Structure 1
Amino acid sequence: MENPSPIESPFKIAIIGGGLAGILLAIGLSSRDISVQIYEAAPTFAETSAGIGFGPNAVRAMTLLDPRIRAAYESLKTENSWESKRNIWFDFRRGWGQIPELLTELKMGHESEGGGNVLRARFMEELVKLLPVKTAEFGKNLSRVDDEGDSVRLWFQDGTQRTTDAVVGCDGIRSVVRKFLLGQDNPASQAVFSGVYAYRGLIQMDTAIDAVGEELALNSQVYVGNDGDLVTYPIEGGSLLNVVAFRKHDVDTWNHPKWIVDYPQGKLMKDFEGWGSIPLSLLKLLDKPQAWALFEMPSISSYSMGRITLLGDAAHGSTSHAGAGAGMAVEDALVLTNMLADPRVHLFSDIAQVFAVYSMVRHPRTQRLVRHSRESGMLFQLRKPGVEDDLRKLKEDLQNRQLWIWDINLKNHLERAKIELSKVLNEKRKV
């Protein structure tokens, strides 16, 4: 059945970027009768064929944002296959030696709020079905944004223009909106290389089981090692094994013009020379290896200026060692959606206050994630200062490392945003 057309709302929101963050926000807003339009540079909605994980916090946020998002996720998610491992985030193992010794396992909490893994492209397909018709325009490469006071004007490379009441940049780690928000010459307007790159690939599960056995293939693993770590987890109902091999770069800069570079198999194997037979047997199965340079966003004081704001990776893009980047985007969308849908927000001029409070509420938590993820990568690669290759200290560090991400009380988080919004709106109404 065809989705209903968007219902007219007091104002309209332009979303730049049709990735997961943009679509999640559009679903949340449109389900609350707020008019949205997505402008996507690509000719269609598209995502990479790679795995993505969501923690308990993200799953709760999905439910609060729109139960249909949670339902789509539940229909696709893959958990660890063994019942004894069902609520384990990852088993952490030694990456060297013939036997990948188990160092520790990290539990995610109550099973009903546990996370899981999905194929990004498949999840995207299901989310798109939840959008009202004609919500997106494709082939729209943003070239300029002007806040004209009574409206925001968008200029596109194809020569077209659009006007809207507010703009949310959901255009990822290469965000164009961020450049206009901060200024083209501001060093913080663009992502910086993290010093790490990753090889990604999918392996048929039967092949993976033949290589490493059922326990290691059917359940999520992190193999730690000097200057590198290997992450594996099942997706697609356990039919595929998602593999990500992270490696510290020899230099601090990424000098390739592209962020994804074809590397020969020999380069991959040399990067993990000296590792144990189990990790190496999986790496040998990666066909046509590509190195993905990992970038992160520099810290900025605010994600918002006037009626322009940033959400997801455009605001706080991080490396992936915390497995929480996408989950933070769900939280962002939840907070911003609830604030824009607040019945006290009914004037165009209120949007700037909403965006300012959204930034204030989300900034500390999301900036902490950027730092945390970077540090987690150092920990997994045995180069975190004070821990390094001391496995006892590493296990101690790991035990409670993710709890601050997973255990957030989202209803309290939303209540804080509501209280802060009340303050600024009341102050504004006095003027």
Structure 2
Amino acid sequence: MVWLCFFFRCLWYSVLSRSSGGGICGLCLAVSLSKDPSIEVSIYEAAQRFSEIGAGVMIWAKTWRILEIMGLADQFSKVAHAPPDGSIGVGFDFRKSDQPQEGFRFLLSEMPYGCIRFHRAHFLDVLINNLPEGIAHFNKRLSSYTRSSSSSPITLCFADDSTAVCDLVIGCDGIKSTIRTQMYREEAERTKNERGDWESIVGYIEPVWSGTIAYRGLIPASRLKEGHSALSRPMMVSIGTLSSYTAARHVVSYSISQGSIVNVVTFASEPEKEGIPYEGPWVTECSRQELLDCYADWEPEVEELLQCIDKPTRWAIHHLKPLPFYVTDRVALLGDAAHAMTPHLGAGAGQAIEDAYILSLLLQHPDTDIESIPLVLEAYEDARLRKAQHILEGSWDAALLYEFNSEMYGSDCNRLADVIQRQWGWVWESTPEEDEQNVLKWLSEQKRLRKVQ
């Protein structure tokens, strides 16, 4: 869990990180803000060191532009699957695969830059290597935060009984966010006193099981036969729903680490179970046979791919309900703490980086001071909440499309191809520069209106 603490023009800023060992959005924000000599950044990390679970991370053209603006593109190019050059590339290669005979492609989705892929640990290392020394504090698991008034310093209380004081807290502490829990419980208490409203607010705290189980595995490229689609196609999505197995399913595979590793994620979904409490740990090891049984009677290349996974892990995929707010006073949520989503659009990391980009430019604006922090956070929320929620909901819609669960399109591949292609419009609907102009315009207008009032 990441919690960030900053001192900026007499403001301390805290970033609180997630328990798996340092999240992308918290580190991205800290790297950006630490370049401003008037901002003092502290990262409070629950784990013993920065580390990362999971294997692959993908980003799209807009996120790459943000990394360029941050001055990190050259470093990320060295750890990408291939250095991005701006040319048209493949986003996803969709196949219908739920039959014993060879399947067929029904959509090759192309776009500028295509899908830019990384090993997650390598991506994280670039951010870690750009952190100034001494700003990260480890083994600091947040218990709560306190403040005597909306304008007073915020005290962070940790599980080891230590404390820290800051003026701004940014919760980048993941899907099980401690910051979100306290923020929404406090808001529920306030609204309960005002209008008897409690359940509608606390109902946003806990993540929701999506009804999907994912099986993950890494395969050395050398284990696959020469010419296997997983090696020759940048991003392959094999979709279907057939067989006696009750869940609808699809398989995603793509190479990372300069092509030396193939990352495989398979999904088995029962959408009617969304919201049902998931019993047991979210991540466990499982047998390869369990994975193979899930995809019995699929096309040979899928079976060959899954046979190469020695130690698959099983993940219960959770997401958040779209939150009604991300900020209160001088506390804000970023990344998965604000909009944890299913992985079907490959958008979680990119949306977290967009959060960090918008908030960092607002905090570093020359007109920002301690008194204006609440309004600055409002500007961040206005810029990011609706956009991120749109992607959160779109990612869940994509899962229905990929597994023939859409009531409107079913298994009609011709119609699916068109609607799947259109769902990527958010990638190029605006540039980071346009987002910056819009959020600064909103902030300026609000300052003018509130001064008039």
**Whole-Å separation in 2 of the counterparts to 1:39 and 1:428:** 35
Q: Note if 1:59 corresponds to 2:80.
A: no
Mapped contact 1:119–1:235 kept (Cα < 8 A): yes
The equivalent of 2:13 in structure 1 is 13
Aligned equivalent of 2:293, options 270, 273, 295: 270
The equivalent of 2:211 in structure 1 is 195
1:166-181 correspondence to structure 2 within 5 Å = 166-181=168-183
Amino acid aligned to 2:75: A
Q: Note if 1:224 corresponds to 2:257.
A: no
1:82-121 correspondence to structure 2 within 5 Å = 87-97=89-99, 98-109=101-112, 111=113, 114-121=114-121
The equivalent of 2:194 in structure 1 is none
Q: Note if 1:204 corresponds to 2:220.
A: yes
Amino acid aligned to 2:253: T
Mapped contact 1:80–1:86 kept (Cα < 8 A): no
Q: Note if 1:385 corresponds to 2:407.
A: yes
**Whole-Å separation in 2 of the counterparts to 1:424 and 1:167:** 23
Residue 86 of structure 1 deviates from its aligned partner by 6.8
Give CA-to-partner distance per residue, 1:6-57, whole Å, 9 cap, x none. 9964322100103111100001111123211111100000102401101111
**Whole-Å separation in 2 of the counterparts to 1:369 and 1:179:** 22
Give CA-to-partner distance per residue, 1:166-204, whole Å, 9 cap, x none. 001101111111001111871201211111111111101
Aligned equivalent of 1:410, options 432, 435, 439: 432
How large is the Cα RMSD of the aligned pairs? 2.1
Residue 78 of structure 1 deviates from its aligned partner by 0.7
Give CA-to-partner distance per residue, 1:280-337, whole Å, 9 cap, x none. 1111221222111111111121100000000111101100000111001111111000
Moved over 3 A (4+): 6-10, 249-252, 426-431
Q: Note if 1:30 corresponds to 2:52.
A: no
Mapped contact 1:178–1:190 kept (Cα < 8 A): no
Q: Note if 1:394 corresponds to 2:416.
A: yes
Please give the TM-score of this superposition, normalised by the length of structure 2: 0.87
Residue 218 of structure 1 deviates from its aligned partner by 3.2
Residue 376 of structure 1 deviates from its aligned partner by 0.3
Secondary structure at 1:275's aligned position in 2? coil
The equivalent of 2:49 in structure 1 is 44
Secondary structure at 1:47's aligned position in 2? coil
Aligned equivalent of 1:357, options 356, 376, 379: 379
**Whole-Å separation in 1 of the counterparts to 2:171 and 2:57:** 21
**Whole-Å separation in 1 of the counterparts to 2:255 and 2:421:** 23
Residue 420 of structure 1 deviates from its aligned partner by 1.3
Give CA-to-partner distance per residue, 1:218-243, whole Å, 9 cap, x none. 32200011111100001000001010
Q: 1:188 to 1:381 in 2, by over 3 A?
A: same
Q: Note if 1:131 corresponds to 2:131.
A: yes
Secondary structure at 2:224's aligned position in 1? helix
In structure 1, list runs of 5 or more residues that go unmatched. Answer: 1-5
In structure 2, list runs of 5 or more residues that go unmatched. Answer: 1-5, 187-198, 242-247
Amino acid aligned to 1:338: L
Mapped contact 1:59–1:115 kept (Cα < 8 A): no
Mapped contact 2:90–2:115 kept (Cα < 8 A): no
The equivalent of 1:3 in structure 2 is none
The equivalent of 1:151 in structure 2 is 153
What is the identity percentage for the equivalent residue pairs of Structure 1 and Structure 2? 28
**Whole-Å separation in 2 of the counterparts to 1:52 and 1:86:** 20
**Whole-Å separation in 2 of the counterparts to 1:196 and 1:75:** 34
Q: Note if 1:320 corresponds to 2:323.
A: no
Amino acid aligned to 1:402: W
**Whole-Å separation in 2 of the counterparts to 1:35 and 1:426:** 29
Mapped contact 1:218–1:238 kept (Cα < 8 A): no
Give CA-to-partner distance per residue, 1:64-112, whole Å, 9 cap, x none. 2x112x222211111499x9x9711111011123223111111122x4x
Please give the TM-score of this superposition, normalised by the length of structure 1: 0.92
Amino acid aligned to 2:427: I
Mapped contact 1:170–1:311 kept (Cα < 8 A): yes
Count of residues in Structure 1 that have an aligned counterpart in Structure 2: 416
Deviates more, 1:406-415 or 1:43-52: 406-415
Mapped contact 1:41–1:141 kept (Cα < 8 A): yes
**Whole-Å separation in 2 of the counterparts to 1:36 and 1:125:** 19
